[in-house]
Amino acid sequence: MQNISCQNHWRDRTVFVTGATGLVGSWLVKELLELGANVVALVREKSRQSILNHDGLLSRIVTVNESLVDSPAIQSVLDDHSVQAIFHLASQSLVGLAKDDPLGTLEANVRGTWSILEAARQAGVRQVVIASSYKAYGASEYLPFRETHPLRGMYPYDCSKVCTDLISTMYAKNYGVPVGIVRCANVFGGGDLNFSRMIPDLVCSTLRGQRFVIRSDGKFVRDFLFVKDAVSAYLRLAEHLATNPDIAGEAFNFSMEEQVTVLDIADMILRLMGRSDLAPEIQNGASAETREQYMVCDKARETLGWEPRYTLQQGLHETIDWYAGFLGEKYSAATAARG
């Protein structure tokens, strides 16, 4: 089964995207433009290294610089541009930073969510897709996670996503806001310039001939999702919200359904890059994260007709190629400037 979005659905529709310079947001904007949509993006910081800038897409979209938590200002944007659909991806998504700054994380992730949903309610937006996370499930002795699992996220980031889900469902069930909730596994792909994350750090360390440092014991079990499949998940859910209002307020899991450890990922990337000699350095330190988290996607498969197109190896291969090209351009430019 192929995840081909309906071009007729998106052509000439005005779509509002928050978090547009992030990994998923950038690829989502790129795909929406290819499908003929008019994109309005909330861009607080125009990162020079975002895909939107790198691929020359900023000039093709309308950017606004409002505060995510200013609901009246967001509503004005929605009204002024006659926005028909919203993809809310903006959040504080770093687990470590969330632990250090719980108030900032709750402000961005929780207040930011109800701010968007209230603006959508007042503006009468037809579809709203909210980015949650599989981390909302927290820890459980029963795996894999299904959408029927209780939400037991206890760490600051995880808890903020529990709140995101509950607030989204509340707006759907009480106010009729057509909102769907996306719970993705660990999303990866080219364009993720947050090098504190494992895959970007690992690939770039290897390109530089350096050993990758694993701060844990490397045995945490996770599942992953290639960014292009994440984009297809967001689009597919929005399209189904337009034709099936009964799914409003519901959450959907999206992943490759491949359970791997950090060491598995490291070994696969090193092998794909031909650098198995660069064995990772394992620090075996403590980590404030749940040891095993992975999902099944039966609901998305049966209700939305979605399934991933990329295997883990295929996604990693494209990701490595992207970073090799990006860093090659970057280093060439730096060398030319010095010359």
Active site residues: 157
Distance of alpha carbon 276 from its chain centroid, rounded? 29
Residue 60, token pair as written in the block = 């093709």
Distance CA 266, CA 270 (A): 6
Closest to 125 measured CA to CA, from 44, 247, 17, 27: 17
- Percent composition of the chain: helix, strand, coil (DSSP 3-state, to 5): 45, 15, 40
Helix axes 312-338, 198-207, angle to 10 degrees: 50
Contact predicate 95/155, CB 8 Å: yes
Phi-psi label, residue 177: left if phi above 0, alpha if psi -120 to 50, beta otherwise? beta
Contact predicate 266/216, CB 8 Å: no
Residue 263, token pair as written in the block = 């060491």
Strands 14-18 and 251-254: unpaired
Provide DSSP, 53-65: HHTT-GGGSEEE-
Helix axes 23-34, 227-243, angle to 10 degrees: 60
